[in-house]
Amino acid sequence: MLDFKEITDGTQFEIFVREMLIAYGLRAFWSGVGPDGGKDLLCIEPQKSFFEDSEKKWLVSCKHNANSNNSVGINELGEITDLCEQHNATGYILICSTQPSAAVIARLEKISQKGKIKAIYWDATKIELMLSTPKLWRIAQKFMPISSESKKLNVIATEYPNQWVVTYDGFYFFLINRIGSDYNYYFNHIEKIIEDIKSIPLKNKDHFIRIRSIYFDDKHFSYVFYIDYMYPNADSPCFSIAQIQEMLGDGYTKEDGRFYNFDVRIISYFKGSDHFDPDHYNYYIPYDSYFKEGKERFRTEREEVEYRDGKENLRAINETNRVSAFNRLKTLFEKLDFLKVCRAVNCTIENLDKFYFQADWTKLLNEIEYEQGRFFSAWFFLSVYDDEKFHKFISCLPQSMEHLFRLTQVYTYVPNDENGSILSEEKDVKFYEFTAYIHPYKAKNKYVGRKLINDTFNTFSNAIENYIKINS
């Protein structure tokens, strides 16, 4: 819920109200000094007509009682009729950050009944509903930055039972079900995705991602997240659409059993523009029909080219990421004069995709570079010529919950003359298996998994480089 106590005083509250009115396309301004020594807030409302357009002038009375939480009393109103006549106003509106008393409501109704002046009120509940729209949410963020950024879930109903407006953790977005009228049972899944979105490593605070809408197909148990990556027009984006989609697991079924799609747009903005707001209604309203049907937002020809180029570039990046850190570690092992790398197998986490998309695994196992048990680990088979030196070296490799290795001594058996096997003892040589691995639980998807295993490779590579430097 929005906290009106963040608006410091009555003057700030008047400014806040004025900005609301202007956002609705009304002309709002202060009069000259009134009879009470203060300035009155006036508002001009255009009246459209087939024959001739006209205007209606409203006297706006702002009462900021949020700090005391008192209702607006009859003694705070003044002579409404006289004030309206002074300004040639035919409408009077009381706007308050709490609520009017019963006596105030009765008085406004009595004035309206006489017919000369229309007298109405907006209380805190009405204002919050108005602010919780694409057109006005930016004003809530400006005047109530703390409560508008709150992680607390605030869901506002719309005229449709399967559509809501949500504020959560600083995000403002639509939430739409295909059929059902309940969101409570699956919002915990949405929270996890929001955390994934927030964890994307952007350059600085001027680069940010906003959620615009979430569509849940409760017939087929699938989501579409509509998100915008915003960056200053004097800068360059940190990631392409394809990269962001890969980070978030676009096109995958997650642990909750639901299928996820991420509709991503990349938008540059001019930070100095007085028209810019990260949640401006122009980022919502033009795509309303797409949000309601779970359809992919349209792209311009330029955006389509950038999207295709991004996917091609991603394939090249992924191939480099797949081999570079592993090859670096393998090369450094090979520089050690007391061992030989007999065989090395990289982590094959990228192949997990193929098992998801193909039902028949038999053919798949024959086609891909497959090594059992290597989805989350890399394996090196080593022949060691100086066992003491080797173990001294191994003790220099750091381990943590994120960077793990396992060292196993290997015994080789060969056939004997009696149809059995016999231990092969090679003089001055011992065999070891060195396995670098990550815990599968931490690998949310192939992007995260590859980054984690590469971080592990690089941690060990840095330690080997340091060992070689010290012992050279």
Does one domain contain both 155 and 271? Answer: yes
212 φ/ψ sector (left φ>0, alpha ψ -120 to 50, else beta): alpha
Does one domain contain both 411 and 329? Answer: yes
CA angle at 67 for the pair 64 and 70, rounded to the nearest 5°: 70
Does one domain contain both 387 and 462? Answer: yes
Q: Which domain holds residue 24?
A: 4-129
Provide mean pLDDT across the span 141-154.
82
Task: Assess contact for 186 and 147: CB atoms under 8 A.
Answer: no
Reduced 3-state DSSP string for 338-403 = CEEEEEEECCCHHHHHHHHHCCCHHHHHHHCCCCCCCCCEEEEEEEECCHHHHHHHHCCCCCCCCC
Does one domain contain both 399 and 450? Answer: yes
Output the pLDDT for position 288.
Answer: 93
> For residues 240 and 91, what is the distance between their CA atoms, to the nearest angstrom?
52
Task: Assess contact for 295 and 258: CB atoms under 8 A.
Answer: no
Output the pLDDT for position 254.
Answer: 78
> For residue 410, what are the contacts with CB-CB under 8 A and spacing of at least 6?
381, 431, 432, 433
Q: Is 52 exposed, middle or buried (0-12, 13-18, 19+ CB in 10 A)?
A: exposed
> For residues 216 and 175, what is the distance between their CA atoms, to the nearest angstrom?
8
Closest among 163, 185, 165 to 2, alpha carbons compared: 165
Provide mean pLDDT across the span 418-437.
87
Which residues partner with 226 through β-bridges? 213, 263
User: pTM for the complete prediction?
Assistant: 0.65
Q: Which of 81, 96, 129 is the last residue of a domain?
A: 129
181 φ/ψ sector (left φ>0, alpha ψ -120 to 50, else beta): alpha
The reply to whether 91 falls in a domain is yes
Binned at pLDDT 50, 70 and 90, residue 372 comes out as low
Does one domain contain both 123 and 205? Answer: no
The CA distances from residue 472 to 9, 336, 462, 469, in Å, are 71, 10, 15, 5
Provide mean pLDDT across the span 33-60.
81
> For residues 193 and 145, what is the distance between their CA atoms, to the nearest angstrom?
23
Binned at pLDDT 50, 70 and 90, residue 357 comes out as low
Asked whether residue 35 carries a pLDDT value surpassing 50, the answer given is no
The reply to whether 157 falls in a domain is yes
User: What's the pLDDT tens digit per position in 186-199?
Assistant: 888 888 899 999 98
Mean pLDDT (the chain) is 88
Provide mean pLDDT across the span 71-98.
93
Regarding beta strands 208-217 and 222-232, do their DSSP bridges make them parallel or antiparallel, or are they unpaired? antiparallel
3-state DSSP assignment of residue 213: strand
Does one domain contain both 208 and 282? Answer: yes
Domain tally, the chain: 3
User: What's the pLDDT tens digit per position in 196-238?
Assistant: 999 898 989 999 999 999 999 998 889 999 999 999 999 999 9
Binned at pLDDT 50, 70 and 90, residue 23 comes out as confident
No. of H helices and E strands in the chain?
Answer: 14, 18
The reply to whether 306 falls in a domain is no
Provide mean pLDDT across the span 64-89.
93
Output the pLDDT for position 36.
Answer: 45
Closest among 6, 118, 25 to 16, alpha carbons compared: 6
User: What's the pLDDT tens digit per position in 107-140?
Assistant: 999 999 988 999 999 999 999 988 888 778 888 8
Query: Is the Cα dihedral 176, 177, 183, 186 positive or negative?
Result: negative
> For residues 178 and 293, what is the distance between their CA atoms, to the nearest angstrom?
8
Asked whether residue 371 carries a pLDDT value surpassing 80, the answer given is no
The reply to whether 217 falls in a domain is yes
